[in-house]
Amino acid sequence: MRHPKIIIASISLAAAAAIGGGVTAAAATSPSASTLPAASQHAAATVRTTQSTFGGKTETILVTSQGLPLYYYLNDTAAKSAVTGELAAVWPPLTSASPAATGLTGKLAAVMDAHGDQVAYNGHLLYTFVGDQAGQVTGQGVERFFVATPGLTPIAGSSTAGSSTAGSSTAGSPATAGTAPAASSGNGYGY
C-alpha cells in the first residue's frame, strides 16, 4: 500500500460519518468559505489546555472545548493553509470568527483563508483529526501534523513572531517552528 495513513484516516472518516460523527463533506472538501456550515463559520471556538499522554510522555496540549486535541501542519504558513481536499476531510480546520482562550500563554487569532476564519495559535493554523476522540491523541506525527502545545514557538511571518510569550516548550514539543517532535510510536504509522 502506498498511503496506509490516508487509507486508515479515510476509513475513520467514513466510520465517523456513518455513526453521525458530525463531519460534513462540504466543510471538509470545499475550497469556498461561503459553503461551510454556519456552525463552523460563526460559532465561537474555545481553545483550552489539558494534560494528555502520548508517545510515553504526559504533556500539556491544546484542545477544543469538547476535549479534541488540536494539531498544526508543518507545511502551513502564518497566512495560508496548505490543507485542502481529501487532507482537509481527515484534518478539519478549527474555524471561528471570534475564538476564545482558556489557560493559554500565547496568542489566539482568527486568520481569513480558504477555510474561512481559521483559528491560529502563535501563528500556527489549528486542526482536529477525525480519528481522535476527546482525551485521545492518535494523529501525532501523521502526515506532518503535530500536537499543538502552549509553548509552541510563533511561526515566522505571524504577528506573534519575535514577541515573547510566557511559558516554555515541554519535552517532546517543538523547540522552534518547523521542528517537530518524534512520532508517538514505532509502528510506522505515527500513532
- The whole-model pTM stands at 0.65
Structure confidence by residue, pLDDT tens digits, 23-44? 222 223 333 333 333 334 446 8
Q: What is the pLDDT of residue 136?
A: 93
Residue indicated by cell numbers 494539531: 71
In the chain, the amino acid numbered 9 is A
Is 50 exceeded by the pLDDT of residue 166? no
Strand order in the sheet with 116-121: 108-113, 116-121, 124-125
- How much of the chain, in percent, has pLDDT values that exceed 90? 52
Three-state SS sequence of the chain: CCCHHHHHHHHHHHHHHHCCCCCCHHHHHCCCHHHCCHHHHHCCCEEEEEEEEECCEEEEEEEECCCCECEEECCCCCCCCCCCHHHHHHCCECECCCCEEECCCCCEEEEEECCEEEEEECCEECECCCCCCCCCCCCCCHHHEEECCCCCCCCCCCCCCCCCCCCCCCCCCCCCCCCCCCCCCCCCCCC
Mean pLDDT of all residues in 111-136: 95
| Of residues 82 and 19, more confidently modeled | 82
Is 80 exceeded by the pLDDT of residue 185? no
| Of residues 27 and 127, more confidently modeled | 127
Q: What is the pLDDT of residue 26?
A: 26
Mean pLDDT of all residues in 148-174: 56
Mean pLDDT of all residues in 153-172: 48
Q: What is the pLDDT of residue 84?
A: 96
